[in-house]
Structure 1
Amino acid sequence: MGIILFDDTTRDTLLPLTYTRPVADLRIGILTIAEKWVKYLGGDHSFSTADYLQAKFPMQIQNDNIFINGCVCPDEELTAAIRNLDNGQALRWGDKLIAVKLKDIYADNFDFFGNYANEVKYAGEPITITHPEDIFRKNDIELRKDFKLLTNGRKSAQISSTNTIIGDGFFAEEGAKAECCTFSTVNGPIYLAADTEVWEGTNIRGPFALCGHSQIKMGTKIYGATTVGPYCRIGGEVNNAVIWGYSNKGHEGYLGNSVLGEWCNLGADTNNSNLKNNYSAVKLWDCTTQSMRSTGLQFCGLIMADHAKSGINTMFNTGTVVGVNANVFGGGYPPNFIPDFSWGGADGFEEYAFDKMMETTQRVFDRRDHRDFNDPEKDILTKVYELTRPYRLNCK
């Protein structure tokens, strides 16, 4: 049985984070949404997404297929409902198509807008990701679910006795290292993946996950619910943030109620505000309407898409959205929306020259000997550069 994770209209409402990936490739909790479904259902997975993403995220049709909405996170109840579907039968939650089972002869004609003659209404309340802020807002729920999923029936590896562990919700994979740190699981579990390091003097309060090959630098302070993806290096103060793979926040500075995409880098003393001075609900830039949208949240910080970077002492206002491959630097506060492939800061922006952007990205990939800046990666950035050009016309 093949699992095919499809994008619906939430791909648009999750921009700019989904310019460079399918919705199911979003990381929330410990795993990506796609990885969660594989853990729950077993089998192989692939993606039905935008045409320009399919070379990197291909769709693979098998004899029997389950199409699953990529914005929906699994749980045991939902998984059971999907397993009980017959071929040609669909599962719908309100107006949203959650899943449909299709034989290979029908799979090529799959349409998430389509009506299926044989539909089942789902009565549960699944966790769905609709807007960027949902990723940090619902991270607590998904961290706890993923922790249980990954550790059920297993015993934690031993870590050094120089550490202090408070509570019993701590789990370390073999190869995780920590010295002279404090881990408090009173408010939620803590998970350290294999080949991770937590350096001396760090204080971590769960729920928290550190994914493979990542490092937490000396004296870091982390509050839940926070996820650090694979191959990251993190320092300073972090609160309720989701940081995807290959990104660095290696120095002092505050990051809170935020999402950082892959290959991002925050310069020393970069800070974001997550609370307005008048305590009102925070607004975020909406790429679909090209206007500000109220999140209804009092705490909302920085949303930064893949390959974006900030210089030293950068200050981000409450509710700032930074586009793909934007480069932000200089004094003062830049605007709350920084278009994709723009270059500058509070004094104004210009378009990030395409050739220079590609050269920099190549250098960044070269630092990771297990990842190549290959043609699919280059083609995605080229397409996103073209798609987002109209939004940079007013850069000043």
Structure 2
Amino acid sequence: MPVALFEDHHWKNLSPLTLTRTTFDVKLGARTIFEEYEHTGRRPDFLLSRKHLEKITKERHGCEVNPSSHDGDTIFINGLVHPSALDIARLEKVSHTFAITSGNRLVVARLSKKNVEYLAKCVRAGAQVNIKKMQVEKATDARAADGMPADLWDIIKVLENSLALQTASDRSSDPPGARVTGAAGVVAAGAEVEEGAVLDARNGGIYIGPGAQVAPCRITGPAYIGAGAQVRQFSTIESSYIGASCKVTGEIAHSIISDYTNKAHAGFVGHSYVGEWVNLGAMTTTSDLKMTYGKVKVAGTDTGLDNVGVFIADMAKTSIGTLVYSGTKIGVSAHLHGLVTKDVPSFSIWGAGIGAKSAELELSSAIETQKKMMSRRGQAMSKAYEKMIKNVFLMTAADRKKAGVRKAKFSV
């Protein structure tokens, strides 16, 4: 029976990370939910996404997105549900339509054609599914949403546990010349680990992917170093994911550094999520603890956590010496200067921290800059990616206006 992943309205809670990607394409540890399904050998047959992400999602995964019709029975699964939380084989044996809900969230369902059309319509619009409108046998399970992130900080809350599970392996290949401690194991799959590196696997496994280069540094597990990543000399990495083709230096703790992102100079990033194609300038540092040791708030909401850093969307850039307060959200392709104490809208050049007036980043400049960054990794921007940038620029115009971002040339 076909399986389809769909986005729910909690994409808004995970914004700005979800402006350029679906909920099932947000990293939860070292893998996204889509990648978790692939890892289990059960690749989704098709996907339901917001309309502006339709083409880029199809390009990313090579499978059908938002099909116009649905032939045969299908099990629809919320794109934030981990495959280990469901017994799909058992669900396939249920012969009638059903919907399992938790609160106001649809978790998993098998639906009639009419209800599928309603679900697809809501997903394309990024709207909440009104479960009461669905004519289907409903079962409420308060535990069904356990493990599903509802807010940005949930990603950080479960990070260490996710990495521990994702790096667990019976295989152990301690790199020669490296000092390895702990029994959790180190897997270096075709990586180059220089003599003098310290790999501490006492609290969790360490995976170092193909083509990765690890200079003398300290990595404390659980940690995942993606294929082709460069971990430079004297770095300290703890309980973090470093994505494919990243270049990192300095101190990184309890954070996700997504693919193709640069943190090539000294500075601290802690309890944070950094998107793809981000460049963090020299000495860029994020706060992840209040001086009062109180609970950190994100957009005015109490997270209940002592340690929360920042959430940086794709393509953002920071200048030399940028300092970002804890609990801050940084939008898509935002450019930061100086001290950043509050959320920054997408496509903004933010200069309040250096006494400058913030200005809107021209769309053409954002696209050109991204093309240059991609070319440095031997990649070309696709039409689908460029169209997505243009759509997000238009979608976030109201955010910039509300924040007082001017349509003018930025000057220091």
Residue of structure 1 in register with 2:182 after alignment: 167
**1:89 touches 1:116 (CA, 8 Å); kept in 2?**
no
* Matched letter for residue 32 of structure 1: T
Whether 2:99 is the aligned partner of 1:99: answer no
* Matched letter for residue 69 of structure 1: N
**1:82 touches 1:99 (CA, 8 Å); kept in 2?**
no
Residue of structure 2 in register with 1:142 after alignment: 162
Shift of 1:349: 1.0
**Distance in 2 between residues matched to 1:101 and 1:360, nearest whole Å:** 44
Shift of 1:106: 6.6
**Distance in 1 between residues matched to 2:130 and 2:367, nearest whole Å:** 37
* Matched letter for residue 117 of structure 1: V
Whether 2:396 is the aligned partner of 1:380: answer no
Residue of structure 1 in register with 2:349 after alignment: 343
**Distance in 2 between residues matched to 1:92 and 1:84, nearest whole Å:** 19
TM-score by length of 2: 0.85
> Kindly tell me: are residues 83 and 35 of structure 1, through their superposed partners in 2, closer, same or farther at Cα, counting changes over 3 Å?
farther
1:236-255 correspondence to structure 2 within 5 Å: 236-255=250-269
> Kindly tell me: are residues 267 and 119 of structure 1, through their superposed partners in 2, closer, same or farther at Cα, counting changes over 3 Å?
same
1:12-31 correspondence to structure 2 within 5 Å: 12-31=12-31
* Matched letter for residue 261 of structure 1: G
**2:263 touches 2:280 (CA, 8 Å); kept in 1?**
yes
- For residue 255 of structure 2, give the secondary structure of its aligned residue in structure 1: strand
**2:115 touches 2:135 (CA, 8 Å); kept in 1?**
no
Whether 2:217 is the aligned partner of 1:202: answer yes
1:273-288 correspondence to structure 2 within 5 Å: 273-285=287-299
TM-score by length of 1: 0.89
Q: Which has the higher strand share?
A: 1
> Kindly tell me: are residues 78 and 228 of structure 1, through their superposed partners in 2, closer, same or farther at Cα, counting changes over 3 Å?
farther
Unpaired segments ≥5 residues, structure 2:
59-64, 121-128, 407-412
Shift of 1:337: 0.8
**2:174 touches 2:180 (CA, 8 Å); kept in 1?**
no
**Distance in 1 between residues matched to 2:373 and 2:94, nearest whole Å:** 45
- Residue from 126, 144, 147 that aligns with 1:127: 147
Residue of structure 1 in register with 2:3 after alignment: 3
Q: Deviations over 1:196-238 (max 9, x none)?
A: 2211x211111111122212111110112x1112221111001
1:313-392 correspondence to structure 2 within 5 Å: 313-329=321-337, 331=338, 333-345=339-351, 346=353, 347=355, 348-369=357-378, 371-392=379-400
**2:178 touches 2:198 (CA, 8 Å); kept in 1?**
yes
- Residue from 178, 185, 203 that aligns with 1:187: 203
- For residue 4 of structure 1, give the secondary structure of its aligned residue in structure 2: strand
> Kindly tell me: are residues 103 and 373 of structure 1, through their superposed partners in 2, closer, same or farther at Cα, counting changes over 3 Å?
farther
- For residue 127 of structure 1, give the secondary structure of its aligned residue in structure 2: coil
Residue of structure 2 in register with 1:295 after alignment: 303
Residue of structure 1 in register with 2:124 after alignment: none
> Kindly tell me: are residues 383 and 120 of structure 1, through their superposed partners in 2, closer, same or farther at Cα, counting changes over 3 Å?
same
RMSD value, Cα:
2.3
- For residue 308 of structure 2, give the secondary structure of its aligned residue in structure 1: coil
**Distance in 2 between residues matched to 1:137 and 1:385, nearest whole Å:** 30
**1:2 touches 1:62 (CA, 8 Å); kept in 2?**
no
**1:65 touches 1:107 (CA, 8 Å); kept in 2?**
no
**Distance in 1 between residues matched to 2:171 and 2:113, nearest whole Å:** 41
Shift of 1:40: 3.3
Shift of 1:161: 2.0
* Matched letter for residue 118 of structure 1: E
- Identical columns (%): 27
Shift of 1:193: 2.1
Query: After the TM superposition, which parts of structure 1 deviate over 6 Å for at least 4 consecutive aligned residues?
Result: 103-106
Whether 2:36 is the aligned partner of 1:36: answer yes
Residue of structure 2 in register with 1:289 after alignment: none
Residue of structure 2 in register with 1:307 after alignment: 315
Aligned length: 380
Unpaired segments ≥5 residues, structure 1:
286-291
Residue of structure 1 in register with 2:123 after alignment: none
